[in-house]
């Protein structure tokens, strides 16, 4: 399942804004989708709230979904109250991680301005996050020919150089890279190389 194609569903669940991070390793996600208000992003960043955010502490200790109104964690920096003042009146956090993921986890911060999240909405958000987290690996496997083209492109070689080295036409190289993009959900060659590297395909 593709993250960008999930925007409409996420907007229906969290009309006041959302942030989704997929397969976060040491510090950065492989993919992210940010639909939060720029003013809130600026406040959150300038005050360094990520280190004090109780929702983020919950993410790294749980898999599942929780309404912010049910978070039973200290909030000395008043992150939840600051979010309310920014129009993010009702928040929820969703997190997913499997034992085989070597610590890589996915999470979403969801917001509504009108009411709290229903149980059905939280379950739908968790199911979506789970699909997004495992989706790329569950897709069709890349062929050895596609992987070879990706490896050579990642090594900095031009299409015509790859074609000459493999002994095929440039259009055939483009076709292999395009096929790999479709299978991985990458929008272009640059994203394909980033995803292939992050997922240890090459």
Question: Coil, helix or strand for 120?
Answer: helix
Is pTM, for the whole model, over 0.85?
no
| Domains observed in the chain | 3-134 (3.30.450.80), 144-199 (1.10.10.10)
Taking only the tens of pLDDT, the chain with its 202 residues reads: 678 889 999 999 999 999 999 999 877 888 899 999 999 999 999 999 999 999 999 999 999 999 999 999 999 999 999 999 999 999 999 999 988 777 889 999 999 999 999 999 999 999 999 999 986 554 577 899 999 999 999 999 999 999 999 999 999 999 999 999 988 888 898 888 888 876 667 7
How many Å apart are CA 23 and CA 131, to the nearest integer? 12
> What sections of 52-198 are H helices per DSSP?
54-59, 79-85, 119-138, 144-154, 159-166, 170-184, 189-198
Neighbours of 97 (CB within 10 A): 19
């Amino acid at each position: 399942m593709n993250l960008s194609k999930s925007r409409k569903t996420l907007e229906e669940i969290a009309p006041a804004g959302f942030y989704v991070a997929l397969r976060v390793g040491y510090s950065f996600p492989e993919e992210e989708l940010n639909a939060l208000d720029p003013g809130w992003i600026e406040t959150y960043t300038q005050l360094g709230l990520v280190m004090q955010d109780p929702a983020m502490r919950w993410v790294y200790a749980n898999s599942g979904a929780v309404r912010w109104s049910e978070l039973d964690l200290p909030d000395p920096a008043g992150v939840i109250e600051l979010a309310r003042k920014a129009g993010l009146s009702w928040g929820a956090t969703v997190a997913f991680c499997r034992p085989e993921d070597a610590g890589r986890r996915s999470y979403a911060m969801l917001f509504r301005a009108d009411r709290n999240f229903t149980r059905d909405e939280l379950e739908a958000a968790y199911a979506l996050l789970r699909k997004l987290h495992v989706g790329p690996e569950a897709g069709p496997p890349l062929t050895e020919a596609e992987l070879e083209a990706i490896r050579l492109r990642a090594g900095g070689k031009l299409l015509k150089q790859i074609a000459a080295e493999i002994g095929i036409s440039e259009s055939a190289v483009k076709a292999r890279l395009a096929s790999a993009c479709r299978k991985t959900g990458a929008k272009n060659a640059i994203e394909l190389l980033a995803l292939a590297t992050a997922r240890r395909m090459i």
